[in-house]
Amino acid sequence: MGTGRYTEHEQPRRPCRLSSGGPCSACTQIDELEVKIHDRQEQLQLGLDWREDAILNELFIAHHDLRTEMNRIHNPVILQVPVEITSYIFELCIPPTAFTSGFDDRVDVWKAPPQLMVLGAVCEEWRRRAWSTPRLWAAVYVTLDYPNIPWVYEFTQDWLKRSGSLPLSIHVGLSRRRRTELPGQSHTLIALINDFSDRWQHLDLDVPTPLISEFSGCGSGQSALQSLRLRPIGYRDEYPMRFELRKQQPQLHSVCLSYIRIHEVSIGWARVAYVDIHEIDIEDCIMLFQLAPLLTRCSLAMVGPGWQPPVDAGITQHPRLEDLHIAHPMMDADTILDLFSFPALRRLSLDLDEKQLPVPSLALLLDRSSCKLQELRIINADYTEVELANMCLRTRTLQVLDIAPLEEHRGFARTLFQRLAETASWSVELEGEFLPALHTLKYHFGHCYTPDGLRLPIEIPWQTIPSAINPLMLFRDHRRRPLQSFHVTFDRYSPRTPLVTIPQVFVRRFQVVKELGIDLRVRYSDDLEGWDAVEASARR
């Protein structure tokens, strides 16, 4: 029976059968002790702080000691294997730091400390082994706005000691991101982190703007920093902004900046291969591609004018860039595309916030770059069926097409799927012209509304999907499009919305396509726990 303060933190114990089929001595004693704790709590008057009762505190201490002994007895196997094997098993608990995923808020690195500390809470021997495994503690998590800063300081200091001499991944943030006023002693924490700057490998700062410049390192040794992620909190214009390590200029591999100008970050760009920047102007875009010759992956969000390029501005060419993502531009996208050339470009993603897709500028970019584009993703962009067709005709090397047309373009799917069906194969004499290398198609249907705001049902051209894939061409002596994956997704208005079903007359054709090994998926965008319209419709 869990009692007192233990009821909220402990899971119900499984029945113990270690002693001739009955409970072990520790379990027997802890059951008796919990009865005493319960009785003592009943004796205390309501409103009395249990922590002020000496007898109850002694019972709690005895309970803690018995829990430790009980856990030791119940885990004999792990304690019999060599420490090296235990350490390896413990290291499997290390959560990913996700530094190469940019500003991906879906990855919650702050879940890591409780996951690691629980290893030391099992028993004294587990704690000894976990505490002596440096890799468990090589990622450091610091919350600057915790009210008890001296406790956080000591906790962080012990954590750093357990990391040995390994390179460190440092995460510094707030428990409440909007907070800008911090305890005065928080600067002592920053000083502690600076003392270990020669071991920084990854640095992630999600702190108030004025504090960014305080993370300046200790000024000794050679910087080992490889990844930097800065996301200042608060209004930029009110505070000076600069990140610079004392007597060092780290040569980074990965850089993620939010609302920070490139010239405000003193780093070496020569080896940078991955960049994710939120809010950047055209001038900084040009500077970025000039400073980082080894850049291969680049994500730019909220690209703004900030600077008007001259009419005769030259083309900035970047020879290595393979993956470019542009999202939520605060200016016409053609102005962005017209200034660059990317000969190595393989993947291009455009999220234009319902702005016009600059098809002519996109075509010129591809022609100017002479690149072999393999993946194209276009969402929230405005374009016509003719423009979509012309774009597909110009990208004959395309292997993956991922599109989500605007709500008003409800007929795009029928037109595209029909065109794919008509050009699924071609004779030996003729060269395929319409997406001849396409391997994967992803098409998303959004919600549609009337001018009065009434939601319209999703119209999916079911009959054209199996024809667009045409898997039977696999067995004919024809040249054919190598389409192997066809993913259709749609939004669900609410949990009460009836699930989409495929008309029974077409269900068998969909099943045949899947039976022939084609990766055909018809699902909601939130995945709905693996629900698939083909399987659901077949069971009706």
Determine the average pLDDT of the residues in 133-147. Answer: 87
Range scoring the smallest mean pLDDT among 33-37, 90-94, 161-165, 504-508: 90-94
If you write DSSP's letter for every residue of 331-366 in order, what string do you get? Answer: S-HHHHHTTEE-TT--EEEEEEEEEEP-HHHHHHHH
What is the pLDDT confidence band of residue 22, given thresholds at 50, 70 and 90?
A: low
pLDDT tens for 365-416 read 999 999 999 999 999 999 888 888 888 888 889 999 999 988 777 778 888 9
Q: Please name every residue paired with 426 in a beta bridge, in sequence order, or none if there are none.
A: 479
Nearest to 340 by CA among 322, 366, 302, 374: 366
Nearest to 258 by CA among 282, 297, 231, 240: 231
Nearest to 250 by CA among 318, 202, 192, 193: 202
Range scoring the smallest mean pLDDT among 48-62, 101-115, 446-460: 101-115
Angle subtended at Cα 489 by Cα 508 and Cα 515, rounded to the nearest 5 degrees: 30
Q: Which helix (H) or strand (E) holds 30?
A: helix 25-43
SS3 of the chain: helix, strand, coil, percent, to 5: 40, 20, 40
Q: Which residue has the higher pLDDT, 135 or 94?
A: 135
pLDDT at 526: 74
Q: How far apart are the first and last CA of the chain?
A: 48
pLDDT at 170: 93
- How far apart CA 441 and CA 356 sit, in angstroms, is 22
Is the pLDDT at 315 greater than 80? The verdict is yes
Angle subtended at Cα 474 by Cα 471 and Cα 475, rounded to the nearest 5 degrees: 120
- For residue 171, CA distances in Å to 162, 230, 255 come to 17, 10, 15
Is the pLDDT at 206 greater than 70? The verdict is yes
Q: Please name every residue paired with 326 in a beta bridge, in sequence order, or none if there are none.
A: 300, 350
Is the pLDDT at 121 greater than 80? The verdict is no
Q: Which residue has the higher pLDDT, 119 or 283?
A: 283
pLDDT at 127: 79
pLDDT at 376: 97
Contact 162, 127 (CB under 8 A): no
In terms of average pLDDT, the best of 61-70, 88-97, 104-113, 392-401 is: 392-401
- For residue 251, CA distances in Å to 243, 245, 248 come to 14, 12, 9
Q: Which residue has the higher pLDDT, 393 or 87?
A: 393
Range scoring the smallest mean pLDDT among 254-258, 382-386, 452-456, 468-472: 452-456
Angle subtended at Cα 402 by Cα 488 and Cα 435, rounded to the nearest 5 degrees: 105
Contact 295, 275 (CB under 8 A): yes
Is the pLDDT at 507 greater than 60? The verdict is yes
Instruction: Name the one residue in this structure whose structure tokens are 């060092």.
Output: 248
Q: Which residue has the higher pLDDT, 102 or 263?
A: 263
Determine the average pLDDT of the residues in 190-211. Answer: 92
What is the pLDDT confidence band of residue 108, given thresholds at 50, 70 and 90?
A: low
Determine the average pLDDT of the residues in 208-212. Answer: 89
Q: Which residue has the higher pLDDT, 77 or 364?
A: 364
The tally of CA atoms less than 13 A away on the side-chain side of residue 388 is 24
pLDDT at 280: 92
What is the pLDDT confidence band of residue 527, given thresholds at 50, 70 and 90?
A: low
- How far apart CA 335 and CA 455 sit, in angstroms, is 35
pLDDT at 233: 86
Q: Which residue has the higher pLDDT, 78 or 414?
A: 414
12-19 long-range contacts, Cβ below 8 Å, gap at least 24?
16/74, 18/73, 18/74
Is the pLDDT at 69 greater than 60? The verdict is yes
Is the pLDDT at 421 greater than 50? The verdict is yes
Domain ranges of the chain: 4-74, 81-268, 396-540
Contact 373, 349 (CB under 8 A): no
- How far apart CA 258 and CA 102 sit, in angstroms, is 10
**φ/ψ (deg, to 5) at 483:** -70, 115
pLDDT at 362: 94
Is the pLDDT at 456 greater than 50? The verdict is yes
pLDDT at 530: 75
pLDDT at 34: 82
Determine the average pLDDT of the residues in 431-457. Answer: 77
Instruction: Name the one residue in this structure whose structure tokens are 């039976």.
Output: 515
Is the pLDDT at 110 greater than 90? The verdict is no
Sequence-ordered list of residues with C-beta below 8 angstroms from that of 208, at least 6 positions apart, any chain: 174, 179, 180, 182, 232, 233, 234
pLDDT at 192: 95
Burial of 485: CB neighbours in 10 Å, binned 0-12, 13-18, 19+: middle
Q: What's the chain's average pLDDT?
A: 81
pLDDT at 290: 95
Is the pLDDT at 6 greater than 60? The verdict is no
